[in-house]
Amino acid sequence: MPDSLPTPLISILPGEYRASADAIVLSTLLGSCVAACLYDPVKRIIGMNHFLLCGTRSLSTLPLLLSESGRYGVHAMELLINDMLKLGAQRRHLRAKVFGGATIIAPKSTGPGVGELNCRFVREFLLNEKIPLMAEDLGGIHGRVIYFAQKDFSVLVRRIRKTSEPEIARRERQLLASLEKRKRREAGTDELWE
Structural domain includes residue 123 = yes
Q: The domain spanning residue 127 has which CATH number?
A: 3.30.1330.200
Structural domain includes residue 147 = yes
**Average pLDDT, rounded, for the chain:** 81
More confident residue, 162 or 27: 27
pTM of the model: 0.76
Structural domain includes residue 191 = no
Structural domain includes residue 193 = no
* Owning domain of residue 98: 9-183
- Pick from 138, 97, 131, 135: which is nearest to 115 by CA? 138
Residue 31 clears pLDDT 80, i.e. is over it: yes
Domain count, the chain: 1
Residue 65 clears pLDDT 60, i.e. is over it: no
Q: What is the pLDDT of residue 187?
A: 61
Q: Indicate the length of the chain as a whole number.
A: 194
For residues 56, 78, 122, 18, the Cα torsion angle rounded to the nearest 10 degrees is: -100
Q: Give the CA distances from residue 59 to residues 63, 73, 90, in Å, rounded to whole numbers and listed in that order.
A: 8, 16, 34
Structural domain includes residue 76 = yes
CA 120 to chain centre: 12
Structural domain includes residue 127 = yes
More confident residue, 77 or 186: 77
Residue 114 clears pLDDT 90, i.e. is over it: no
Pairing of strands 25-30, 9-11: parallel
**Environment class of 40 (CB within 10 Å of its CB; exposed 0-12, middle 13-18, buried 19+):** buried
Each residue's pLDDT tens digit, 66-101: 444 445 778 889 999 999 999 999 999 999 999 999
Structural domain includes residue 134 = yes
Structural domain includes residue 2 = no
